[in-house]
Structures are given as C-alpha cells and as structure tokens.
Chains A and B, each alone.
Chain A
Amino acid sequence: MKELKISAIKEGAVIDHLSPENAFKVVEILNLKERDNPVMVGINFSSEKIGKKGIIKIGNSFPTKEEIDKIALIAPEANLNIIKDYSVISKEKVKIPDVLEIIMKCANPKCITNVENYKTKFYVLEKVPLKMRCHYCERIMESSDIELV
C-alpha cells in the first residue's frame, strides 16, 4: 500500500511508526474524534522497520507535553514530527520521561490520589520493561497497570 498517499499538512503533527493497533489507541487517548481540527489516520502502511505501520496526521494543532507523555506510554515505538509551513521542523522518537504527572491513575485503589481524587505523579524507575513508583503510595506499577486520564 506504499502508493497510497495522504496529503501533506501545512501545520501540525505527524505521529509515525506506530504499530497499527496502537494508531487507534493514540486516536482514543488524544481524543481526536471529538476535536474540530482535521485528523487523518492510516494503518497497514509498509515499513522496513516494523512491517506494517500506522500513521496519524493532526492538522493545525501541536501535542502538549502531557499528550506526548501519553503517546510514549501507550506507543513507545512512535516518532513525532512537528510540521510548520509544510516542513518538518523536528522529528524525534517519543520518550518516556523520568517523571509522569497528571496523565494516569494510580493502580492502587487505596492510594490517596484515588480516594480523594488528587493529581498523580509517578517516578519512572525502568523504561523497558516499564516500572514506575507512585510518588504518594509508593506502589510499583507496570505497563499493564496503566489507566490514562
């Protein structure tokens, strides 16, 4: 399907090198269906690196730090390209930061952040496989525990 072209965007972001299933997850976590700006989602494009890949183009909008952190958690394989005036001005692999704030719930139901609904904070102890410690209850979480907010 290499011949299928998706039109270029003037300004915005391209999330590339996603696994096809993660493309839909990213649509979900960035709430792209509910937005007004144009979004294109493609899957099953051939990729030398990962066989089949997904790609998302978001026009007229740049992801926030929190959104980039969410992408890194759900789809650590993704590349993020920032487009301005039809040119790629930055292109980099998303990175899981050392500290994750606000973007996800603590998996421990007895954590104060769940009991009284406070903002969360996690320290990333290991990136592969992902291991995080809650700043509040100090419980360790893994990627299977992630529930984004």
Chain B
Amino acid sequence: MKFKGKDIISIRDFERDDILYILDVAKRIEQSPDQDLLKGKVMASLFFEPSTRTRLSFESAMSLLGGKTVGFAEPGVSSLKKGETLWDTIKMVDRYADVIVMRHPVEGAARIASEAAHIPVINGGDGSNQHPTQTLLDLYTILKTKGTLDNLNVGILGDLKYGRTVHSLCIALSHFNTKFNFIAPEALAMPKDYLNDLGEKGLSYREESDLMKVSNELDILYVTRIQKERFPDPMEYKKYAGFYRIDKKILNHVKKDMKIMHPLPRVDEIHPELDSTDHALYFEQAANGIPVRQALLSLVLGRIE
C-alpha cells in the first residue's frame, strides 16, 4: 500500500501487511526519533467531541517530530455552532494544513471529511463506528509485549455492543488467527455482524458473561469502560455500570504473563491496586499512542515511504 496522501479512516481499509508495516515504522521511530522529520508540516486537530489521550498524543506526536498543530478541542469554538456543515468546515481547513486529525460524534463523519479534503484525513474516532489509530496502538502494544500478534488468546471485556474500540480491535485481530473470548453481559454482547465475520474467516470465538470462566486461558485481557455517553437510555446504563470490577482476586486465575489492557479512561472496572503489578499494561499502552501516531503522520505526509 502507498501511504503518502492516504486517509486513515477505518481499520477495514487495512490488510495484515499494511498493519504490520505501520507497526514496524512505529518501532523504528520509537527507537530513533528524528526531531525534524515533520518540520514545516501543519496538522489540523479538529475535535468536535472531547478527548484527552487521542488529541494530546497526536499533538505531542506532531510536536516531537518538529511539526505544528492548529485546531480546536471542542465544537463550541468552531463555526459549527453557527451552523456550518462538516463538508464546508473541512473544505476550509483543507487550505490551512497538511493533514487533518478529526474526532466527531457522528458515525461516518471521518469518511465524509476524507471525501471533502484533498489532504489526508486521520480518523480520531467517529461516534461508535471506528477509531483506527487506537486499534493500531493496541496492536503495537500487544506486539511489543508478546513479540507476536499471531495465535494469541485474547479476552475482550465490557461494553462490546457500543464500544468502537473493541469493534475495530476485533476486525484487526482477525488477520492474526486470534482466539477470541468476548466477555460481556448479554445486553452488551458483541454485535452479530462482527461474530458472523469471524465465523466466515474460520476463527473461533467464545461468548461468556463470567470472566472467571475464561481468565486462565488468556494471553491478553482487554478491558473497556461501560460508556455512559453511548447509551440511549440512562436507566439502561445504570443497570450495567460497575458490572465488572477487576481487582487482585483475578491474579490467582490467570497466566503469569497475562497482560491487562484498557483504552482508558477507566472508571471502576480496573482497581488501582493492579497498576503496580506486571499484568498492568494500560499506561504503557497509552504511551504507545505517540510512536504509532508519529508513524501514521510520517507515512501519510510522505516523509517516510
């Protein structure tokens, strides 16, 4: 795949080799960063929905490689408030920057933006649809800790119905012969479409609501928050908030080298007492956002072929 000028919208747009190539570039940048790699380049950071990690790590990634950022961190300051369409906003920003990084609450917004813009658009999350850079940093984290992405036994826990992170992760891992364990209350189970896709690829998966039933088999436990903002009904949210609380008790039922990941922010699903154990990988995971986003920016801006 030629990355120069390419939009990064959905993990579905990438094959196994593309993913491995991005992760390899991330590794190279992390090992020997070039502070001038993106000198003279401007990133428009358009956050129509609040974000901490994604926005800060993109801006930091740009800055560490010598690039500059313009943009906004919430829609209140943009012309959207005056009723401007997304298409028009992007058409304008297209002239001001070399690359757009965008988060938007509406599903499909990133794809529309990529059609409006001539410059590359990187999706930093569009509603409950896609968040491809999170997925790539998740894969980078797994690769770094396990040395491989192939044939791992992965547990994905929490809100599997609304969680875009787990949907993208599921699609990406399906290139690597993963054994999936989906751990969620029935009402928040992985949508059938994703399960059907796995079935069609000949991959095995297990659905379980009790973590303890699968915990001792896992290489990775990927925990997600029950996301209040995605629930159409607040009563429904209350039913499931706090459904999983993972603490030290689980450590008697897991492999020694099992790692716990979480896209963060967490609420109460992982007890802080786990933070200091060798199992906790979530802060390192967040840190890996920098080299992965540096790799993506360098590739789409054509500074790395």
Q: Which A residues form the contact surface with B (CB < 8 A)? A: 106, 108, 110-113, 115-116, 118, 134-140
Contact = CB atoms under 8 A, between A and B. Distances in A.
B10 interface: yes
Nearest to B127: A110
Given A116-B86, A116-B87, A118-B112, A140 B193 contact: yes
B165 interface: no
Given A116-B85, A140-B193, A110 B12 contact: no
7 contacts: A106-B108, A112-B107, A112-B109, A134-B108, A136-B108, A137-B126, A137-B129
Contact of B86 (A111, A112, A137, A140): A112
Given A110-B127, A112-B106, A115-B106, A135 B193 contact: no
A135 B12 CA distance: 11
Contacts of B12: 138
B271 to A, nearest CB: 33
Contacts of A139: 107
Contacts of B298: none
B135 interface: no
Report the contact-size class of chain B (Cβ under 8 Å from the partner).
10 to 19
Contacts of A135: 108, 111
Nearest to B130: A138
Given A116-B85, A135-B111, 11 more contacts: A110-B128, A112-B108, A112-B112, A115-B106, A116-B106, A118-B87, A118-B112, A136-B108, A136-B112, A138-B107, A138-B129
Contacts of A118: 87, 112
Given A112-B86, A112-B112, A136 B193 contact: no
B107 A137 contact: yes
Contacts of A113: 108
Nearest to B164: A138
Interface string B117-156: 0000000001111100000000000000000000000000
A137 B105 CA distance: 11
A143 to B, nearest CB: 15
B258 to A, nearest CB: 31
Given A116-B86, A135-B111, A110 B106 contact: yes
Contacts of A110: 106-107, 127-128
A137 B104 CA distance: 12
Nearest to A112: B108
A116 B126 CA distance: 14
Contacts of A112: 86, 106-109, 111-112, 126
Identify which of A111, A138, A140 gathers the most chain B CB atoms within 10 Å of its CB.
Answer: A138
A106 B127 CA distance: 15
A136 B87 contact: no
Contacts of A134: 108
Contacts of B112: 112, 116, 118, 136
A70 to B, nearest CB: 22
B150 to A, nearest CB: 26
Nearest to A110: B107
Interface in B2-24: 10, 12
A136 B12 CA distance: 12
B107 A136 contact: yes
A139 B130 CA distance: 11
A138 B123 CA distance: 14
